[in-house]
């Protein structure tokens, strides 16, 4: 069987989800959610399989985003609609409720789907809407982590990690059960979708997944106690925001004591709405703090360029 793959999975990036919610709050778009009834087949395929979109799925009026192939937009007269696909979950955003109803009916004639109504719970993200904006959090997911790890009654911490904390891959005693540490860090990584305040700490601890040690586990427990202080904390996208992009970046020169590599950190706002952020180790060793800063600025410029193309699709 001939197999053709792309570099990335054909699912929407979470940054696009946050960007869509921010735009929906600003433009007062209606948000709707659909779920496709699908069945996963586990049979062996012996021959070649050729796939193409079904007739009528993509019309001349529909535009597939070049920034992300999971985003589709459609403009006709004064109505606008955006369709975002994540595996079998679909989010619709439009300024016309009738357009959403017509598309839902059209899709239902081609394959079975569930109409879940207004967007409230998507990929573990809890969405709440009011007259002043849209809030996004993962409170249920955070409480599940605290319950499973036994930290639901732990003493809260004021911050996730000491500002001058440095961790090494060689300090401390190796954990007898590294699987529990890896499972915990994996769940914390998903929690950073709505918690940018956890990004640096979780990124730092995720570098020791291969051979975690006692200090790494103690630091992870510190993050859990910080989550305990405010499990419902998340993001807020106000309706009074603008569509002006602004970004901030910084670097930590020689932030890693093992590799001597620097760290890049940035955050991007759409008006007053935080939609993108990152904390990542740089790929090469910077010979000066100025070089580390330039690499950080280059990273945020790449993100801004991509977001500009994405906003043009909207």
Beta bridge partners of 76: 79
Nearest to 90 by CA among 103, 74, 77: 103
Q: What is the pTM of this model?
A: 0.83
pLDDT digits (tens, 9 = 90+) for 174-204: 999 899 999 999 999 999 999 999 999 999 9
Least confident of 44-48, 142-146, 275-279: 44-48
The per-residue pLDDT for range 66-124, each reduced to its tens digit, is 777 788 888 887 888 989 988 888 899 998 888 888 888 888 887 788 888 899 998 88
Q: Which of helix, strand or coil describes residue 158?
A: coil
Q: Percentage of the chain with pLDDT > 70?
A: 89
| Residue for token pair 């950190």 | 265
Domains of the chain, by residue range, sit at 14-137, 139-229, 242-313
Cα 66 to Cα 12: distance, rounded to the nearest angstrom: 12
At 127 the pLDDT is: 94
**pLDDT attached to residue 79:** 86
Of 112, 109, 91, the closest CA to residue 100 belongs to 91
Distance CA 6, CA 275 (A): 26
pLDDT at 276 over 90: yes
Rounded to whole angstroms, how far apart are CA atoms 127 and 114? 19
Work out whether strand 30-36 and strand 263-270 pair parallel, antiparallel, or are unpaired: unpaired
């Amino acid at each position: 069987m001939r197999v053709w793959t792309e570099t990335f999975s054909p699912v929407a990036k979470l940054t696009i989800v946050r960007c869509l919610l921010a735009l929906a709050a600003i433009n007062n778009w209606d948000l709707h959610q659909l779920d496709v009834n699908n069945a996963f087949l586990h049979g062996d395929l012996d021959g070649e399989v050729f796939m193409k979109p079904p007739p009528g799925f993509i019309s001349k009026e529909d535009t597939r985003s070049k920034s992300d192939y999971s985003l589709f937009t459609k403009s006709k007269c004064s109505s606008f609609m955006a369709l975002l696909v994540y595996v079998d979950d679909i989010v619709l955003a439009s300024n016309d409720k009738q357009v959403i109803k017509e598309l839902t009916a059209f899709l239902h004639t081609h394959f079975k789907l569930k109409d879940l109504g207004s967007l409230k719970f998507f990929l573990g993200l809890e969405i709440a809407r009011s007259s002043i904006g849209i809030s996004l959090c993962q409170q249920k997911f955070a409480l599940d982590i605290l319950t499973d790890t036994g930290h639901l009654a732990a003493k809260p911490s004021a911050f996730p990690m000491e500002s001058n904390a440095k961790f090494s891959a060689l300090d401390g005693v190796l954990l007898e059960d590294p699987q529990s540490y890896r499972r915990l860090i994996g769940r914390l990584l998903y929690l950073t979708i709505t918690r940018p305040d956890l990004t640096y700490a979780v990124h730092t601890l995720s570098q020791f997944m291969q051979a975690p040690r006692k200090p790494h586990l103690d630091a992870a427990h510190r993050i859990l106690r910080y989550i305990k202080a405010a499990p419902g904390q998340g993001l807020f996208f106000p309706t009074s925001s603008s569509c002006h992009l602004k970004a901030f970046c910084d670097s930590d020169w020689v932030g890693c004591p093992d590799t001597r590599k620097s760290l890049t950190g940035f955050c991007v706002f759409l008006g007053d709405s935080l939609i993108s952020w990152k904390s990542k180790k740089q790929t090469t060793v910077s010979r000066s703090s100025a070089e580390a800063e330039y690499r950080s600025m280059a990273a945020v410029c790449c993100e801004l360029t991509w977001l500009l193309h994405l906003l043009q699709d909207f």
